[in-house]
Structure 1
Amino acid sequence: MLDIFQYPEVKFPDSFLWGASTAGEQVEGNNCSQFDVKEFAPEKAVFSGEPYQMPGMACNSYILYEEDIKLLKEMNLNLYRMSIEWCRIEPEKGKYDEKVLKHYISILSRLKEEKINICLTLHHFSHPVWFHKEGAFKSLDNLKDWERYLEYLIPKIAEYVDFWIVINELNLRYVYPTIEERLNAIYYHALGYHIIKKYSDKPVSSAHSYAEKHPKRGKHDKLDRLMAEYIDYIENEFFFHAIRTGEITAPFYDAKYVPDIKMTCDFWAVNTYVRHIIDGRKKDYLTDFYRATHFKALDTPFYTEEIWPELMIFMLMRLKDKPILITENGIAVRDDRFRIVYLAAMLQSVYEAIEMGSEVIGYCHWSLLDNWEWGSFEPTFGLAAVDRKTFERRLKNSGKFYGEIAKNNGYNQEILRRYLQELPSIINYKNK
């Protein structure tokens, strides 16, 4: 039984960073990437189930970024993970918009004025329409476009950035469905790493989408275990192995040793939400969950309907060979009380992993805002709610709780019980 009211006090290292994450396509509004063009709608929905919604104005953060900075300050956060949108900077191939660049620099400058560290993502799923038409990461021929863009951008913003994320979740099968595309993306990551290092001495990584692959019938069921290990390799280990060794490998592919790829992560940047229950007896091996730990989080099922804090420990211990920044972690729920439970449970596990020797340098919650989630506005991950008409931000109780955690660099039962007096139940779901 998950009882957060029995958790002991946790105190994080003095240098620990507390942050929140967003992505430009999901919050800025009026973007111009492939996700904003109707002709690409059938192929671009990351998560299916509902009719595809265009992002439109999203959270209007391109204009209202000062409101977002106010939220960060209100929550005592000292780290903000954001992205710069390539399609705004280079809307036409080889043509750069200096006005947009100045706008982004003004945002970065304001964050530095407020003493907020910046974790900057260079590619968070979205890119220019012209790059998409050329095949994007499906072809290594497009590396020259990526190189030209980064050589333009990086030297102009390097002074503001504290942590660099080259590519977000290059291993995510919803976005990069073939192993060929994921392997190609490693080359784009490595090229980005080396260009950044020409202009910045700050740490560089790419954010990895980590989900523990759990055999449905347990490790003693050979088929489920083998399938889980296979899926783990083509979604997790292929990237870790390439960074550690310089060897690009995948089942049924000839291995390639590429020296320029080796050690191109100064730290592990990881996004984590759930475990994947792998059923080796089904073609669609991810369709199942355990009913005993599953709950209704939203009216339309999404993918975060379980709170499994052991995920943090397994992930952080697996990656303890480098410093680790948790660049995304969160839950999509209608009832904000579950987010408080989630935060308490996950951070308790982060603390335990630190005790066991994992060097975790910070934690970024996904997301700062209830934003556009790749085809829908229904999955609400935010620490702050956003009025879809006025774009007014309202900090939720989970955001206030998280703010106290950041202020105290940890939490205890006194802090927890100011925001939650009892474990939530879906019995009262419709009333929340």
Structure 2
Amino acid sequence: MDIFQYREIKFPENFIFGASTAGQQIDGNSHSQFDDPDIFPPSDYYQPAGIACNSYRMYRDDIELIKKLGLDAYRMSVEWSRIEPEQGLFDREATDHYVRQLNELKEAGVKICLTLYHFAHPIWFDRLGKFTDLNQMGEWKKYVEYIVPIVEPYVDYWIVINEPNLPYRYDMNERLNLLEYHAAGYQIIKKYSAKPVSTTLAYSMKMPYRGQTDMLDNALCRYSDFLENEYFLHAIRTGEICAPGFDGKYVKDVKDSCDFWAFNTYARCMVDGRKKDWLMDHPIYRASHIRSLKIPFYTDEIYPDIMINALLRMKDKPCMITENGMATEDDRFRIVYLTSMLQAIREAMDMGVEVWGYMCWSLLDNWEWGSCLPQFGIAEVEKVTYRRIPKDSGRLLGDISRTHKCSKEMIQKYLKSMPSKNDLQEEAR
């Protein structure tokens, strides 16, 4: 891969470029299940977010960063645990905080993609049983009914639920239930808003470890793909909720409950039928793997085919890439990653896919669900003052946003030569 050999690409003037965050990961001092030591006890593998990026107090710095970089859009979340810290008690002060933040984003000319639920929920909701059954539907609807009409004037794109299909967060039963929670949220939003609504799919491209001729690897690829990707796409397209081991059912409100496909994608997932743990999230033996962190993480790889694969699979609706990024301590690799993915997006658009925009993960180096070690941000957060420091990857994305094109000359402004895995290995030594 040599990004200096890429052709110059251009994007339509209405194509948006932005960055994404989640409140639990940047705001700090929330009241969600992730902050409850009885639910998530601190350990060597899990540390609570604490103050995170201090964005609840410093959101104006985030807005200024977005403006300084020249980005069009910002995907953020409102945090249910702040808005309804106790069951049935809605916090007006927290609500007003989000209204101020959204209003200042609009005044800055930033398009807003708003997520209503990004993994974090109130502790009381967790103790009720969260999404393990449909008995909490009434509480979910009360929250959505409360917040949507208040923030509607500021929103350009709605995301009901972030990544309801992740197997490491939800078992299959919860994933199926979340389709109905999504549909309920969709119907409520449509009562108050004409803006497009979706729920983000965590799209993971499954690849057979031994190639297309190995029957076992391919059979497991198709099986795991259905359990993570296809069950969701199939349900939205048809209204049929189904998965192996569960009785299928038709839910009318689920059908066509996404106005566009919103998806997050990072890396492919290799499937090795000769391994006990056959679903290999970390393909560390593949030649394309890049060890760009001190600890293994699933986004150490640059493989832009995942983007084309996702977009062509979802070409029946307009698409929005709501998260895409790389965890790396060397920002040069992030430049390679972002520009490679944009090339893939342009290629899919040339094949007829309607793409509305691209938002990278993440605006800031943030708390990544137990640790601050994985660095996804296009801006660094200084440890003492929490000052936002733009990285070259963010400056390049801003240049692309302003000009709606990406060329070799633009890349060379920030990257003089292709980085090598050897650079990281030398640094580690």
Give the equivalent residue in structure 1 for 2:323: 328
- Cα distance in 2 for partners of 1:137, 1:411 equals 43
1:276 equivalent in alignment to 2:269: yes
1:260 equivalent in alignment to 2:263: no
Residue identity in the other structure for 1:313: I
Query: Could you say what secondary structure the match of 1:363 adopts?
Result: strand
Residue from 346, 350, 356 that aligns with 1:355 = 350
1:303 equivalent in alignment to 2:298: yes
- Cα distance in 1 for partners of 2:338, 2:146 equals 39
1:16 equivalent in alignment to 2:9: no
Supply the RMSD in Å over aligned alpha carbons: 1.3
- Cα distance in 2 for partners of 1:61, 1:162 equals 22
Query: Could you say what secondary structure the match of 2:262 adopts?
Result: strand
Gaps of 5+ in 2: none
Residues 380-421 of structure 1, C-alpha deviation per residue, up to 9 Å, x if partnerless?
000000012210110001111111111111211110111111
With structure 2 as the length reference, what TM-score do the two structures score? 0.97
Query: Could you say what secondary structure the match of 2:179 adopts?
Result: helix
Residues 172-208 of structure 1, C-alpha deviation per residue, up to 9 Å, x if partnerless?
11111x2111000000000000000000000000011
With structure 1 as the length reference, what TM-score do the two structures score? 0.97
Give the equivalent residue in structure 1 for 2:229: 236
1:246 equivalent in alignment to 2:219: no
**Per-residue deviation at 1:295?**
1.6
Residue identity in the other structure for 1:302: F
- Cα distance in 2 for partners of 1:232, 1:169 equals 15
Residue from 198, 208, 222 that aligns with 2:201 = 208
**Per-residue deviation at 1:303?**
0.7
Question: Larger deviation: 108-117 or 274-283?
Answer: 274-283
- Cα distance in 2 for partners of 1:180, 1:282 equals 25
Residue from 48, 54, 58 that aligns with 2:52 = 58
1:294 equivalent in alignment to 2:293: no
Residues 189-230 of structure 1, C-alpha deviation per residue, up to 9 Å, x if partnerless?
000000000000000000110010101111211111010000
Residue identity in the other structure for 2:38: E
Give the equivalent residue in structure 1 for 2:83: 89
- Cα distance in 2 for partners of 1:86, 1:98 equals 12
Give the equivalent residue in structure 2 for 1:26: 25
Residue from 314, 337, 341 that aligns with 2:336 = 341
1:158 equivalent in alignment to 2:157: no
Residue from 176, 187, 194 that aligns with 1:183 = 176
Residue identity in the other structure for 1:193: Y
Query: Could you say what secondary structure the match of 2:65 adopts?
Result: helix
Query: Could you say what secondary structure the match of 2:246 adopts?
Result: coil
Residue identity in the other structure for 1:269: A
- Percent identical among aligned pairs is 54
Residue identity in the other structure for 1:12: F
Give the equivalent residue in structure 1 for 2:34: 35
Give the equivalent residue in structure 1 for 2:311: 316
Residue identity in the other structure for 1:6: Q
Residue from 48, 65, 68 that aligns with 1:71 = 65
Aligned pairs for 1:100-179 (under 5 A) are: 100-176=94-170, 178-179=171-172
Aligned pairs for 1:39-50 (under 5 A) are: 39-41=38-40
- Cα distance in 2 for partners of 1:25, 1:266 equals 26
Residue identity in the other structure for 2:368: E
Question: Larger deviation: 413-422 or 251-260?
Answer: 251-260
**Per-residue deviation at 1:358?**
0.6
Residue from 414, 421, 427 that aligns with 2:416 = 421
Give the equivalent residue in structure 1 for 2:397: 402
Residue identity in the other structure for 1:381: F
- Cα distance in 2 for partners of 1:410, 1:162 equals 23
**Per-residue deviation at 1:431?**
4.4
- Cα distance in 2 for partners of 1:63, 1:354 equals 39
Residue identity in the other structure for 2:242: T
Give the equivalent residue in structure 2 for 1:285: 278
**Per-residue deviation at 1:428?**
2.5
Aligned residue pairs, count: 425
**Per-residue deviation at 1:282?**
2.1
- Cα distance in 1 for partners of 2:314, 2:122 equals 33
**Per-residue deviation at 1:267?**
0.2
Runs of 4+ in 1 over 3 A off after TM superposition: none
Does structure 1 conserve the Cα–Cα contact (< 8 Å) formed by 2:290 and 2:302?
Answer: no
**Per-residue deviation at 1:19?**
0.7
Gaps of 5+ in 1: none
Give the equivalent residue in structure 1 for 2:219: 226
Residue from 186, 199, 222 that aligns with 1:193 = 186
- Cα distance in 1 for partners of 2:399, 2:123 equals 42
Residues 329-361 of structure 1, C-alpha deviation per residue, up to 9 Å, x if partnerless?
000001110000001111000000000001010
Residue identity in the other structure for 1:225: N
**Per-residue deviation at 1:376?**
0.4
Residue identity in the other structure for 1:378: L
- Cα distance in 2 for partners of 1:269, 1:183 equals 18
Residue identity in the other structure for 1:19: G
